[in-house]
Amino acid sequence: MICLLSAICIWGCSKDGNYPGGTVSSYISMFDLRDIYQGQDVVITKENTFGPDKIAGLVISDHTGGNIPAGLLVIQDSRRLGQLRGIAVNLGNEAANYIPGDSVVIKVEGKTLQRVNGILQITGVSASDVTKVASGKTVEPVVVKSNLVIDKPGNYESTLISFTKVGFDPSYPPTETYLGDKTINDGFGNSILHTEATASFANKVLPYSSNFTGIAFSNGDGKATLWPRSESDIQVLSATPPKIAPIVISGFLVDPTGTDANYEYIQLKATRDINFTETPFAIVTTNNAGANTPTGFPAAGWATGDLRTYKFNLTTGSVSKGEYFYVGANKNIWGAGSTDIGTTSKWYGKMYGTENGDGFGTKTTNLLANSGNVAGIAVFDKITIEESTLPVDLIFYGGGGQIYTPGPPEKGYRVTNTDYYDEKNPITLVDQPFYAQGSNTGKFAFPPATNFVKLVGTYNRTSGRWTSSRLQTNVVMNATATVALIEGGVTIEE
C-alpha cells in the first residue's frame, strides 16, 4: 500500500520537459523600483529588478499650469502591497504631452535611476519608450498631515498629496506673493510651498488659510516640498485672519484623589492682557452622562443648562498675556489635602458642588466627566450665552452620546475654528457648525485615573493659528505636586 501511494504521488507530480512554471511579471512596482536606488546612480537591469523591464502608472504631472519641473513626467502606482509610490521620468519636452489621468507603460531597462536637483528620477527615457494605454482615469490626492511627510519624505516623493487648513509663516508681509519658496504650516509641522515664476498664480497675494494639493518633490536636503501644479490645486478657505482667541484651554483635571465635588478644575492661558471687569468672559463645561438632564440632544447647545452644561462668569480680576490661570472651586492641585496652588496661581469660579452656575447649570458633584460619554469645555468672550453664541476656544474629550442631530431642528454644541474644529469642512467647504458634524470629530481621550491632562501645543497670536496642534500629555499626580508639573504645555508665539 505504501509503495502504491508513493507511485501515485510521483506520477501526479511529474512534469514533461515543456512545463513553463511561474511567469515573472514584466512590470516592477514604483515601491520596488525606488528601492533599487541606494544613494548612487544605478542602471536599471533585469538582474536588479529580478526580471521586470517596464513600469506602469497613472500620470499626475500637469505642465499646463506652469509649476512642474521642466521635462518631468510624474507617475504613481500602488501595485506593491497597496503602498502608493511615485517616480519622476525625465522625458524632455515630450513630458508636456501627458496630462493627469493618462495611464502609461514605460520601458525602463537600460535607463538610469539618479537624483537630479534633489529629485529621484529615471533618465535616458525617450518618447518611443512611453506608451499611453488609457486616459481620463480618476486621480485623487492623498490627504495627509505634514508631520508624516516630514518623517518619511521618500514615501511621498513624486506622489499627489493634499495638506489641509494650511497657513503661511505669519512674518510674511500682507503683500507677499506665492513666488518662490514659502513656509507653510498645517498645525502638524512646517513645510515648503514652491512656486515657479512661470506659474499662473505666482504673483497673487498669499491668502490666510488654504488647502493645497500638489506633487511632493525633494528639495535636495531630503525634505519634501509641495509644488501645486496649477491654481486649481489651491482651495482658499479664508483670505483674512480669524478673530484671535484671547484665552485658550491648556489642561484640565477630571479625576482628583477622593471626591470629585469642588476639586475638578480647568487650566487656561491668556494670549493677551485681559481685565475681566472691563471685558467679562465665561467658561462653560458640558457633561453628557446618560442620566444627566435634560436627556437627549442638547436643544440649546452650550446654553442647555441643568446637569448638561454649567457656566462660570469671569467678571473681576485680570490676567496678563502668557499667564496661566484656573477655573474651578477649591484650589488644590490634586484633591483634598494636596498642594494649595491658589497662593501662586490665579483662580476663578465657585463651589460648583453646592452652588448653581452663573446663569445656567445645576450644582453638581461631577463637573467634568471622567468616563462614559463625551464631555467638553468652551471659552466665550461674553457672559450672555445663547444657542447661537460661538466660543473663542473649545475642546472635547471622552466617548460619544447624544451630542448632535441634523434634525430638524438641528441640535448640538457649536464650534469655532481651532486646531481640531472647523465651521466649514476644509475639504468639501460644506457648513458644519456643530461638534460631531462632518469632520468635527476630534477629541482627546479620558486620562488614566488621577492624571492631569496637560495639552501641549503652540498658538500664534498674530495669525490666530495653532502652528502646533494641541496634543494630550497625561501627567501623573500626587499630593505634593506643584504647578511646575502641570504648566508649560502651551506656548504663545507672536
For residue 24, the number of C-alpha atoms closer than 13 Å in the C-beta half-sphere is 11
- Evaluated on CA atoms 155, 156, 159, 163, the torsion sign reads positive
Q: What confidence score (pLDDT) does residue 265 get?
A: 98
**Same domain as 254, residue 230:** no
| pLDDT tens digits, 463-472 | 899 999 999 9
The tally of domains found in the chain comes to: 3
- 48 sits in which H/E element: helix 46-49
Contact 313, 360 (CB under 8 A): no
Contact 87, 35 (CB under 8 A): no
- Which residue's C-alpha cell is 480669524? 242
Q: Is position 280 within any domain?
A: yes
Q: What is the largest CA-CA distance in the chain?
A: 102
Tens digit of pLDDT at every position of the chain (494 positions): 444 444 444 434 444 444 344 556 899 999 999 999 999 999 999 999 999 999 999 999 999 999 999 999 999 999 887 899 999 999 999 999 999 999 999 999 999 999 999 999 999 999 999 999 999 999 999 999 999 999 999 999 999 999 999 999 988 998 999 999 999 999 899 999 999 999 999 999 999 899 999 999 987 676 679 999 999 999 998 887 778 999 999 999 999 999 999 999 999 999 999 999 999 999 999 999 999 999 999 999 999 999 999 999 999 999 999 999 999 999 999 999 999 999 999 999 999 999 999 999 999 999 999 999 999 999 999 999 999 999 999 999 999 999 999 999 999 999 999 999 999 998 888 999 999 999 999 999 999 999 999 999 999 998 899 999 999 999 999 999 999 999 999 999 98
**Same domain as 277, residue 374:** yes
| pLDDT tens digits, 209-252 | 999 999 999 876 766 799 999 999 999 988 877 789 999 999 99
**Same domain as 471, residue 390:** yes
Q: Which structural domain range is residue 72 located in?
A: 30-134
Domain final residue, candidates 104, 134, 164: 134
| pLDDT tens digits, 38-61 | 999 999 999 999 999 999 999 999
**Same domain as 355, residue 208:** no
Instruction: Give SS3 for 95.
Output: helix
Instruction: Give SS3 for 350.
Output: coil
Contact 199, 66 (CB under 8 A): yes
Instruction: Give the CATH number for residue 93.
Output: 2.40.50.140
- In the chain, how many H helices and how many E strands? 5, 28
**Same domain as 234, residue 310:** no
d(C-alpha 323, C-alpha 487), whole Å: 10
Nearest to 385 by CA among 410, 360, 403: 360
